[in-house]
Amino acid sequence: MFNYTFQWKQAMARLPQMLDGAVVTMQVAILSMVLGILLAIILTMFRLSGIRILSAVAKTWVEIARNTPALFQIYMAHFGLGSFGLHLSPFLSILIGITFNNAGYLTENFRGALKAIPDTQTRAARSLGMGAAGAFRHVVLPQMLRISFLPMTNQMVWAILMTSLGVTVGMNTDLYGVTQDLNALTFRTFELFALAAVIFYAITKIVTLGARLIAARLFRY
Amino acid sequence: MIEIEHVRKSFGQLEVLKGIDLTVSKGEVVTIIGGSGSGKSTLLTCINGLEPIDSGRILIDGTEVHAKSTDLNKLRRKVGIVFQQWNAFPHLTVLENVTLAPRKVLGMARAEAEEIAVRQLTHVGLGDKLKTYPGRLSGGQQQRMAIARALAMSPEYMLFDEVTSALDPQLVGEVLDTLKMLAQEGMTMILVTHEMAFARDVSDRVAFFHQGVMAEIGPPQQIFGDPQHPETRKFLSSTRQ
């Protein structure tokens, strides 16, 4: 019944290729986080703007990002836009899909963080002659990012793991895509994917530990 | 000069200011006393435009605060305010708290802003706390930092809204001393306070507010020694216990 000979050597021989894939995975994850944070800040300002159409845009974005599968979001970036004649590379599609997802979740996190910052902070900043934008940028935003740092770390981990969905839109240069291709070549399915899982695990561990170090350095107050 | 003319202000159904008239000249220290809900604090936040008013007008050196054409951000550089809750910016050090507005609002270089900030912080007795985060300061220290922060903008007028009310009793003195020092230096100030001895001590004039009306105003000796309005007498006797 259990008739399988493990051949770890074969898998290990592919490790360098898989690590190259891991680099691409990190590129996608980091880029999608940076863009996601920037977009989430913009969407948060939309929400705060009091301009109905802008806050509707932000609200819709958050609703879709949080209540539909990430796979759907990535599909829409690739095949959805594709049906309108806009053909994006797998790399761009996955990047857009994950960025969309990140921005939605982060906007919601930012909303929670904002609730924790008293209005009097803005009032104090305004009373010093700062404009609404200046008060947001120098007083509210830094505190908001600090409060949402932990959720941001979670989202980063989630972004790394979501890159594996890229395989569905033909991505084959990231860790999961590379593993998939190697599997087709060697049929060492269990060994290869187990190795990929270990690499994913190691990356996310390093990211969370790194985030903790950054937090300790950045937030001394 | 701050000119307040027939100012009315409501929050929903509740009229908190029922036609206030008050003129404060340069160098004058005016204290506003009165029970809670008498409109004292609201008046202060109206003076620097943090709150809109319903009617009347407030002029600061001839500029109408609530006129549409008035650049409030610019006007507020002239009028500093310190609140009951000091509102320290927790993510910035004491020094950064004080340099933020001079740098970002007045466009000062860091070195120049720091020089001013160090001077102001030393002035209020926090010269040794520059690199500390506000979370590590006592309430009284944070409140003095908030005063230094407002002063770093070199305002011509200062508004103090019950700045000692949220402090532990043993910390009140250090903040009052700071205010007294400012008054002696000739700063134009309007203070809302519950510290009667202090009001008697520093004020040129004391105004008594009752239910949105300025019931009485006069020199401290008169207000505390010979109050004319029955409500003033009632209020003062209740605070003296």
| pLDDT computed for residue B240 by the predictor | 66
Instruction: Kindly state the DSSP code that residue A80 receives in the 8-state scheme.
Output: I
> What is the Cα–Cα distance from A199 to A196, expressed in whole angstroms?
5
| pLDDT computed for residue B63 by the predictor | 94
- The minimal CB distance from B105 to the residues A118, A130, A139 is found for A130
Contact A165, A94 (CB under 8 A): yes
Beginning with the edge strand found earlier in the chain, give each strand of the sheet holding B205-210 in spatial order.
B79-82, B157-161, B188-192, B29-34, B205-210, B213-218
Percent of chain A predicted with pLDDT > 70: 100
Percent of chain B predicted with pLDDT > 90: 87
**B4 to chain A nearest CA, in Å?**
19
Residues B20-78: tens digit of each pLDDT: 999 999 999 999 999 888 899 999 999 999 999 999 999 999 999 999 999 999 999 99
Q: What is the mean pLDDT of chain A?
A: 94
| pLDDT computed for residue A7 by the predictor | 87
What's the CATH number where B66 sits?
3.40.50.300
> What is the Cα–Cα distance from B99 to B78, expressed in whole angstroms?
16
Residue A19 lies in a domain: yes
> What is the Cα–Cα distance from B91 to A43, expressed in whole angstroms?
23
For chain A, the domain total comes to 1
Query: How many contacts does A have with B, using Cβ atoms within 8 A?
Result: 63
Contact B81, B159 (CB under 8 A): yes
Q: Which helix (H) or strand (E) is A96 found in, with range? A: helix A90-115
Residues B154-201: tens digit of each pLDDT: 999 999 999 998 888 888 988 899 999 999 999 999 999 999 999 999
A117 touches chain B (CB under 8 A): no
| pLDDT computed for residue B30 by the predictor | 96
| pLDDT computed for residue A218 by the predictor | 82
Average pLDDT over residues A69-80: 95
Closest residue in A to B75 (Cα–Cα):
A129
For chain B, the domain total comes to 1
Nearest to B187 by CA among B155, B219, B211: B155
Confidence of residue B19 (pLDDT cuts 50, 70, 90): very high
- The minimal CB distance from B76 to the residues A118, A129, A138 is found for A129
Q: Which residue range(s) make up the domain with B225?
A: 2-240
Which residue intervals of chain B are DSSP H helices?
40-47, 72-78, 94-104, 110-123, 139-151, 169-184, 196-202, 220-225, 230-240
- The DSSP bridge partners found for residue A136 are none
Confidence of residue A199 (pLDDT cuts 50, 70, 90): very high
Among B84, B87, B100, B120, pick the best mutation site for testing chain A contact (most A Cβ within 10 A).
Answer: B87
Q: Which helix (H) or strand (E) is B56 found in, with range? A: strand B55-60
Chain B partners of A125 at a C-beta cutoff of 8 Å?
Answer: 89, 101
Give chain B's contact residues with A (Cβ, < 8 Å): 48, 50, 73-74, 76-77, 80-81, 83, 85, 87, 89-91, 100-101, 104-106, 133-135, 146, 149-150, 153
Residue A23 lies in a domain: yes
Separation in Å, CA B126 to CA A76, B90, B98, B179: 58, 16, 11, 15
- Say if residue A220's pLDDT is above 80: no
Q: Who's near A186: CB < 8 A, 6+ residues apart?
A: A10, A11, A14, A192
| pLDDT computed for residue B117 by the predictor | 96
Q: Which residue range(s) make up the domain with A146?
A: 8-218
**B170 to chain A nearest CA, in Å?**
25
Separation in Å, CA A19 to CA A194, B54, B195: 14, 68, 70
A123 touches chain B (CB under 8 A): yes
Residue A3 lies in a domain: no
| pLDDT computed for residue A175 by the predictor | 95
Nearest to B32 by CA among B158, B162, B226, B152: B162
- The DSSP bridge partners found for residue B218 are B206
Write a three-state SS string for A102-155: HHHHHHHHHHHHHHCCCHHHHHHHHHCCCCHHHHHHHHHHHHHHHHCHHHHHHH
Percent of chain B predicted with pLDDT > 70: 99
Q: Do B105 and A128 touch (CB under 8 A)?
A: yes
| pLDDT computed for residue A2 by the predictor | 77
| pLDDT computed for residue A221 by the predictor | 73
> What is the Cα–Cα distance from B77 to B233, expressed in whole angstroms?
38
| pLDDT computed for residue A18 by the predictor | 95
| pLDDT computed for residue B189 by the predictor | 96
Residues A79-131: tens digit of each pLDDT: 999 999 999 999 999 999 999 999 999 999 999 999 999 999 999 999 999 99
Residues B139-149: tens digit of each pLDDT: 999 999 999 99
- Say if residue A11's pLDDT is above 90: no
Contact A169, A42 (CB under 8 A): no
Separation in Å, CA B65 to CA B1, B7, B8: 13, 12, 14
Contact B92, B136 (CB under 8 A): no
Confidence of residue B217 (pLDDT cuts 50, 70, 90): very high
Residue A176 lies in a domain: yes
Half-sphere exposure of A21 (CA within 13 A, CB side): 27
Task: For strands B14-24 and B2-11, give the pairing.
Answer: antiparallel
| pLDDT computed for residue A1 by the predictor | 64
- The minimal CB distance from A143 to the residues B48, B91, B150 is found for B91
What's the CATH number where A138 sits?
1.10.3720.10
